[in-house]
């Protein structure tokens, strides 16, 4: 069964600095999607960034980028120029491309941003 592991329960960063959140996953599939979701105190689950496994190029969305290492099954999220509004829980998630629509989540990383 596929699993997603986030080994950092909490992280902190100073405003304007850069922080990287780690995620590893386990799968025997070659084609899949990976996601990072943000959950602020409002509890809304917000899609931050999406990566397709067949694409070698790392996805980027403004200040958010990923480092996707398929062979190592690693999918880290880098937040540049951190802002106070980035403070939230961040969840890494895995989705098989063909056989199922089930999104499998990691346990989350709580990010604190200090002024």
Partner 1 sequence: DAGVIQSPRHEVTEMGQEVTLRCKPISGHNSLFWYRQTMMRGLELLIYFNNNVPIDDSGMPEDRFSAKMPNASFSTLKIQPSEPRDSAVYFCASSTRTGRGNYGYTFGSGTRLTVV
**Contacting positions for partner 1 (CB under 8 A):** 33, 35, 37, 42-45, 47, 50, 52, 91, 95, 100-108
Q: How far is the CB of 72 from partner 1 (least distance, A)?
A: 23
Virtual CA dihedral for 34, 65, 55, 10, nearest 10 degrees? Answer: -30
Check: CB of residue 114 under 8 Å from CB of residue 15.
yes
Q: Could you tell me whether strands 24-26 and 3-5 are parallel, antiparallel, or unpaired per DSSP bridges?
A: antiparallel
Say whether 92 sits in a helix, a strand or coil: strand
Q: How far is the CB of 18 from partner 1 (least distance, A)?
A: 26
Q: What phi, psi does 88 have (nearest 5°)?
A: 180, 175
Q: How far is the CB of 59 from partner 1 (least distance, A)?
A: 11
Query: Per the structure block, which two tokens stand in for 55?
Result: 């694409």
Q: How far is the CB of 49 from partner 1 (least distance, A)?
A: 13
Say whether 6 sits in a helix, a strand or coil: coil
């Amino acid at each position: 069964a596929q699993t997603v592991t986030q080994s950092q329960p909490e992280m902190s960063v100073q405003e304007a600095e850069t922080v990287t959140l780690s995620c590893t996953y386990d799968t025997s599939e070659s084609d899949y999607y990976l996601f990072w979701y943000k959950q602020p105190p409002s509890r809304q689950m917000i899609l931050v960034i999406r990566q397709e496994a067949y694409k070698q190029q790392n996805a980027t969305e403004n200040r958010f980028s990923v480092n996707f290492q398929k062979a190592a099954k690693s999918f880290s999220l880098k937040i540049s120029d951190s802002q106070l509004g980035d403070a939230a829980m961040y969840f890494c998630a895995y989705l098989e491309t063909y056989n199922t629509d089930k999104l499998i989540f990691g346990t989350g990383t709580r990010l604190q941003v200090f002024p």
